[in-house]
């Protein structure tokens, strides 16, 4: 089990770095969604399924959709 925890933690760490390094805002929102899924996997591995479900709904679906909508709305003004 420890190997699975280390692998999922490394996946989360690399996802966080990827979110920071992506320059395009729309792509960054999509990478953020993948990061949310990686966090959900980590929570499942750490035996917290309720937190994992919340992370999928908020981190992988709601926040990226709000970010993409905001980017699109601001993009129309310029």
pLDDT recorded at residue 1: 75
**DSSP string spanning 43-65?**
HHHTT-HHHHHHHIIIIIIIHHH
Contacts of 67 (CB under 8 A, 6+ apart): 25, 28, 29, 32
pTM for this entry: 0.88
Q: How confident is the model at residue 76 (pLDDT cuts 50, 70, 90)?
A: confident
Q: Looking at the 3D structure of the chain, how many domains does it have?
A: 1
pLDDT recorded at residue 78: 58
User: Mind listing the pLDDT tens digit for each residue in 16-57?
Assistant: 999 999 999 999 999 999 999 999 999 999 999 999 999 999
| Closest C-alpha to 59, from 28, 23, 34, 24 | 34
Average pLDDT over residues 3-12: 96
Task: Give the range of the structural domain holding residue 30, as residue numbers without chain letter.
Answer: 2-77
């Amino acid at each position: 089990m420890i190997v699975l925890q280390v692998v999922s933690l490394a996946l989360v760490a690399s996802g966080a770095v990827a979110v920071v390094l992506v320059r395009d805002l729309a792509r960054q929102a999509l990478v953020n969604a993948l990061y949310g899924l990686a966090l959900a996997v980590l929570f499942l591995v750490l035996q917290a399924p309720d937190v994992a479900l919340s992370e999928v709904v908020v981190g992988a679906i709601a926040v990226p959709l709000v970010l993409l909508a905001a980017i699109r709305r601001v993009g129309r003004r310029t």
